[in-house]
Chain A
């Protein structure tokens, strides 16, 4: 059980942060393109899910999985999107993604006078706290699944 990587986007599609822990295969395109691709896909899936849902929408798009990995998604009312790729053994982690938003992003970036919102996060404190939080998660192990 492991975490592969994590993306953080704001409401305009700017990639605020990206970290990876276990990623064996890269996308083959430059990082900027990869972020745009990820954001575009999320945008399309969200609107697809809301249009095609046979019942009233409650939380909307939560996750998708392939035979090798699972992508978890969490969006806040302000448009901040937290995307985490893990392996298949991991169940719903909405509360983890919410914690990343409220206890890490809001506390260390929004409340940091020197971090301008809407740009990639430069704060080392945010980076290191996020890293130690993810490493402390019960489904994170050093052996890639």
Chain B
């Protein structure tokens, strides 16, 4: 019965969050595309300006190939324009670096929406799920209360991992971890889906 109720609580919290999160996620996606395009435009313009400055037709050719970031700019086309090649490679690495920063920033923001791996220390080693009601044993290991009580009753009166003797009355509620799970779910509400 407890299991069923927990499951429904998780579903409800997930649905509540999803209603707000999906539109936000869309906005971030659209903004990310906008910013990426702005970076590419900026890069194109810099190359073009460089091309006009140096009257180097090859730079115009680069402009065509802008989407191919794996351009090998050491190819023989550019042997005559060493200085330009150097400046082109500077512009290119500047663009690549900015794009990387953009990805880092938006990936970080996306963690709020995209399921990633839930941290191990917030999960019971037996259920592999986020703790609902964590208890700690004298060995210092934390388990899901229901699972551990089940184990003590049906398997034996010992700590599942250390095998040290263990009685139900020795279990202590790990209040700090309970708070930690709550805080984690607040920032990663997608985890409610399998709560």
A and B physically associate: no
Enumerate chain B interface residues (CB-CB to A < 8 A). none
